[in-house]
Structure 1
Amino acid sequence: MKKKKFTTFAVASILSLSLMTPATSAAFLPGVSSQKGINDFELKVKQLDEKGIPSFLSGKLSNQKIKTEADVKKFLKDYSSVYQVNTESLKLLDKETDDLGMTHYTFQQTIGNYPIEGAVFSVHTDKTGSVTVTNGNLYGLKDLAKLKKQYVHVNGDSAIDLAWKHIDLKPEDTELTETIESLHGHDHSLGEEQIKQDTVYIYHEDQFILAQKVQLQFIEPYGANWQIYVNAVDGSIIKSKNAIMDAETTGTGTGVNGASRTLNTYYANGTYYLFDVTKPMNGVIETRTANYRTSLPGSYSVDSNNNWSASSQRAEVDAHYFAGQVYDYYLNKHGRNSYDGNGATIRSTVHYSSNYNNAFWNGSQMVYGDGDGSTFKALSGSLDVVAHEITHAVTERTAGLVYENQPGALNESFSDVFGYFLDTGDYLIGEDVYTPGIAGDALRSMSNPNAYGQPDHMDEYQNLPNTQAGDWGGVHINSGIPNKAAYYTIQSIGAAKAEKIYYRALTNYLTPYSNFSNARAAMLQATADLYGSGSSTYSSVQSAWNSVGVY
């Protein structure tokens, strides 16, 4: 295939990660010497956002022992010159103690009763109760001083109507819900609301705007996970995008590679279903077919004798089998019960549309096309593609990496990396289903991103516009840089250590607007937690990110 050309751009500003010692650390907020500052900390890592507020601090950050939410807020108040936040604006979302004895406090910053979009901040303590890491995105008192009084004049229902109008559709034009039959004594539905609305503050163009965040998820007349922000004061559209997580891995062909599979199915009323109820903790794997149409979730894949050997069934077989493997991987390796951690049904629909060269996670389920036979064969026939898409769902429920610019490229990269962890034969992505007439071809390469038109170093970073035409800031392009860092990491320390580090970083230390530098810090912190900051493993992870120009 032809290699894609790409243009090298100069990087105007990348937050640097500094390795600090007590002797070299310095206060970074002048004029606040009467309050506790950075000099009070024994830092290993310091990262500041563009406002001078810490996006990532690691080291010995407290002498007092933290046991409660109140203790955390007292710590932040004591160091108000550093964090610049009114602790009354922080709402505790989660407190969790992990198997290393570390406790993770996750907060949502609010204005009044409304959350600030993307303002998620975490404080992490070791098993003795000492603060060792803080990370995330905060808006300081100077930012909040810009806030103008705003009142809701456009309610949630009105905002939903305006959102539909904005995308030039009506609810009846789309496929939103379906009632499905009861299997195994349980009623199963789509599992998630497909129209969602929340009142939030969004920081947009250097100001806080009270908004109604509307999410519209549907599959007909096209796959969509619209995120639309409606001004709650005047009803104008602040910004919108179809945030469907598209791996561009839809396939081709009439069957999938001919491998024999052992399937967990369900029998009822003389019919076998691709419906797996054997997973622990009530996990369910469910596979359907769209019958070459676009309505979702489609009808159940069924068979009369439990021998799923017809060529038309091969896409279902692999979708079902591989989804089960991904479920088992996350449970057995990381103790995670399905993508949401709470046993959510993993639903896949194959035979979507006709000659459809794509696969995607739409916010509720997996969808696979059959491809056109030359660009792809059935995309469900590639384990790393299936793992990639389900990992988008894991990321959505953990770090919540926003699907644009560097956070979006990290979102794509984490899906590729976990695709590799499930399919470790090579560093290619989608090679089992892509261009079946060309041997050894793939969508991407983690070991050699340049071979498929991706940068592999920050010197080649592409500053693309945050538009659909610009791939939302290059989420599928610039992911080559963290992918290459992952390749270096895995080559140096092995997949067994790397997968633990990547999972811990994703689920504990990344937040919606984390950039590449934040990801490096998250990886190093996860490595320090697991293997120690003085270990050779730590040095290897550090070197991997150095090698791609992320500091």
Structure 2
Amino acid sequence: AHDFFNRYGNLFQMKNPTAELALINATDADGSHLRFQQMYKGIPVWGAQLLVHSQDGQLTAINGHYQPGIDLNPTPGLTAAQAETIARTHLGAAQATLLANVELVVMTYHTEPAALTWLVQLATNEPLGRWLYFIDAHTGGITYNFNNLPHVRNRQIYDANGACSTSSLPGSLVAIEATGGTLPAGPAKDAFDYSGAAYDYYLSQFGRDSYDGSGAPIITSVKFGTAGTCNSSAFNAFWNGAQMVFGSGGGSYNHFAKAEDVVVHEFTHAVTEYTAGLIYQFEQGALNESMSDIFGVFAQQRSTGDFNDWELGEDLNVVFRDMSDPTLYGQPAHMSNYNELGWVDDNGGVHTNSGIPNKAAYLMVTGGTSGEITATAVGLSKMEQIFYRALTNYLSPLSGFNDIKNSTIQACQDLIGSFGITFADCNQVQNAWAAVGLGSAALTASTKVYLPVLINGTGGATDAFIYEPNDDVSQAYGPLSSGVTYWAYLQTNGDVDIYHFTTSGGFIDISLSSLPSGTNYDLELYNNAGQLVGVSYNSGTTDDSISGTAPAGKYYIYISPTTTASSTTDSYQLAVTYP
């Protein structure tokens, strides 16, 4: 992987890839999935990770987040202890628990320009929180801070009883593995049964031994919180980085360990922390919530045999969310209705905007139509494997909705031939995302496009504007000449550009570059059978490329916008080389 970055690091604007990337994790026995942490002069760049994927020794994909152009003084002007004091003072919680050693990091997330900061992590009881503070290591100012505590609900209902302080957790021991089966009916028995169900689900479906993959003990506390004193505890459930905690409930609410989907939801937050590490704010936090919803529902469907149950929390005597129709409970089901909320409002809408990927997951499993796009059912057993692979191998701390779209498509391609997964399934995954406003529908033989193209071969003397309707794939522009650069543009968000070429077989290299400012285009390659055989989904205006050995035949290049499309005056450049 380092050899690739040393050769092509300029595509990411890297100056010294060996020094700027530190390997932090490798998965699969053959090391085919590598996770690199971006470093700046030996200091981690918070949230910036690149994931490198290979198969049979051949590089297949690179995704994640890399922040170029960092230029700052790496020597702090204040100590870690001083930074901790500043964070405690701002939080107003001198007795807050320090969760980890104060760490020096470069902060770029929601920060311009990049800043050298001390990361201080504090836990509080009221308000319930796991606070991340980024203190400027030169000025002592607060660069950024937010509550990174995942939880099921953020509302407060008053009528409950129980201990409040997180300092008392985990509490008094009532059962261990050998004795839990004899517990009487109640919160402790439900927590014992459903935490075991969560463990069994991940082990049986994915071979994962506990949330960390290494058999960690599952510590769970129940009957947490007292009404009128700590309402946010009584009507809540959360993973605090070390254990699961379930509120006492009260009134019309059952205790929060009563629902299997809620318990698996929290267990999945732990899995996410040990894999993708998704932060708990804005779009990343909404994706974090969605991953927990998805696996919570999947596990309960397998447990109960009710494969039409897409509700969350119904066993608490209240429904929080419905993945089949998120709008029933105030969530958007399409990117056109995405809620731009401030960080103080539900951490930027983590429980609101999660409805969008939730709806996509529902469409992938059951099939259905949203707007003008239809997805055919892929089925539960296949989608479990696809989402798990995406979560554990492709997502990183700052991944958002476009990333999970790209990751599930790539994970699906990885798994073709396993679990009954086919190329056609991957097309339906893509269609489901398109149905909620993320990307374009998969290319098929009946796809109709209108392709306005500005062609300027690098060896040509004259620019020619060609506005040609392309009613189906057979009318895609081409054949493209090997080694020639083509200038073209996308006029609207719904526009796609399709090209074709024919190779005698061998190494091919496709590059998409010079993307207009403010755009984000996807590059996809299909064979003549309409099967997706290659993708490049880099974020923003980063160049995309697809390369590798291809069998002889005809291929189609598909370029589509994932964000704002450019005008006819802002072109991109496409080049392909092939034998």
TM-score, normalization by structure 1: 0.70
Q: Which residue of 2 aligns with 1:132?
A: 60
SS of structure 2 residue aligned to 1:300: coil
Partner of 1:108: 37
Query: C-alpha deviations, 1:197-237, integer Å up to 9, x for none?
Result: 2110111532121111011134x344321111111112221
Task: Within 5 Å, give how 1:120-159 maps onto structure 2.
Answer: 120-127=49-56, 129-140=57-68, 143-144=69-70, 147-159=71-83
Q: Could you tell me which of 476, 494, 500 is aligned with 2:385?
A: 500
Conserved in 1, the CA contact under 8 Å of 2:34 and 2:52? yes
Shift of 1:526: 0.5
Q: Counterparts in 2 of 1:113-512, with a 5 A limit?
A: 113-127=42-56, 129-140=57-68, 143-144=69-70, 147-171=71-95, 174=96, 176=97, 194-203=99-108, 204-218=110-124, 220-248=125-153, 291=163, 295-301=168-174, 307-309=182-184, 314-355=186-227, 356-374=234-252, 376-424=253-301, 425=306, 426-435=309-318, 442-465=319-342, 467-469=343-345, 471-491=346-366, 492-512=377-397
| Distance (whole Å) between structure 2 residues aligned to residue 96 and residue 500 of structure 1 | 15
The answer on whether the counterparts of 1:253 and 1:378 sit within 8 Å (CA) in structure 2 is no
Higher relative contact order (CA 8 A, sep 6+): 1
| Cα separation, 1, equivalents of 2:183 and 2:60 | 53
Q: Distance in 2 between matches of 1:74 and 1:228?
A: 36
Give the Cα separation in 1 of the matches to 2:378 and 2:326: 20
- The letter for the 2-side match of 1:547 is A
Residue type at the aligned position of 1:446 = M
Pair 1:73-2:2 in alignment: yes
Return the letter of the residue paired with 2:353: N
Which secondary structure state, in structure 1, belongs to the residue aligned with residue 45 of structure 2? strand
CA drift of 1:195 comes to 3.6
User: What are the Cα deviations for residues 294-343 of structure 1, in whole angstroms up to 9, with x where unaligned?
Assistant: 5322111269998533xxx6011101110111111112211212111222
Distance change >3 Å, CA 250–CA 457, structure 1 → 2: closer
Determine if contact 1:387/1:419 at 8 Å carries over to the other structure.
yes
Q: 2:162 touches 2:226 (CA, 8 Å); kept in 1?
A: no
User: Structure 2 vs 1, CA of residues 318 and 201 (structure 1 numbering), >3 Å: closer, same or farther?
Assistant: same
CA distance in 1, matches of 2:395, 2:285: 12
Aligned residue identity for 1:527:
C
**1:249–1:359 CA contact under 8 A, matched in 2:** no
SS in 1 for 2:286: helix
5+ residue gaps, structure 1:
1-71, 177-192, 256-288, 436-441
Query: Which has more strand, going by share of residues?
Result: 2
**Structure 2 match to 1:270:** none
Whole-angstrom CA distance in 1 between matches of 2:336 and 2:127? 37
SS of equivalent residue, structure 1 residue 517: helix
Is the Cα–Cα contact under 8 Å of residues 133 and 142 in structure 2 kept in the other structure? yes
SS in 2 for 1:545: helix
Q: How many percent of aligned residue pairs carry the same amino acid?
A: 38
Partner deviation per Cα, 1:417-469 (whole Å, 9 max, x = no partner)? 0001111120000001033xxxxxx110000101111111112111122x222
Partner AA of 1:398 in structure 2: T
Q: How far, CA to CA, are the matches of 1:542 and 1:413 in structure 2?
A: 18
Rounded Cα–Cα distance in structure 2 between residues aligned with 1:510 and 1:347 = 26
SS across alignment from 2:114: strand
**Aligned mates of 2:219, 2:203 — CA distance in 1:** 17
149-158 or 293-302, which deviates more: 293-302
Deviation, structure 1 residue 530? 0.5
1:473 Cα offset (Å): 2.0
1:543 aligns with 2:435: no
Q: Kindly tell me: are residues 461 and 306 of structure 1, through their superposed partners in 2, closer, same or farther at Cα, counting changes over 3 Å?
A: closer
**Residue pairs, 1:24-43, within 5 angstroms:** none
Kindly tell me the number of residue pairs found equivalent between the two proteins.
Answer: 408
Instruction: State the AA in 1 paired with 2:133.
Output: I
Report if the CA contact (8 A) 1:250-1:368 is conserved.
Answer: no
TM-score (norm 2): 0.66
Q: Distance in 1 between matches of 2:23 and 2:285?
A: 26
Distance 1:346 1:378, change over 3 A: same
1:302 & 1:291 partners in 2: Cα distance?
19
Could you tell me which runs of 5 or more consecutive residues in structure 2 were left unpaired when the two chains were aligned: 228-233, 367-376, 440-579
Q: Distance in 2 between matches of 1:235 and 1:337?
A: 42
Q: How far did 1:196 drift?
A: 3.2
- Counterpart of 2:27 (choices 93, 96, 102) is 96
Determine whether 1:521 maps to 2:393. no
The structure 1 segments of at least 4 consecutive aligned residues displaced by more than 6 Å after TM superposition are 249-255, 303-306
Contact kept, 8 Å, 2:27 with 2:393, in 1: the verdict is: no
RMSD: 2.6
What is the CA distance between 1:152 and its match in structure 2?
1.2
Superposed displacement of residue 350, structure 1 = 0.9
* Aligned-partner Cα distance in 1 for 2:67–2:386: 29
CA distance in 2, matches of 1:250, 1:227: 22
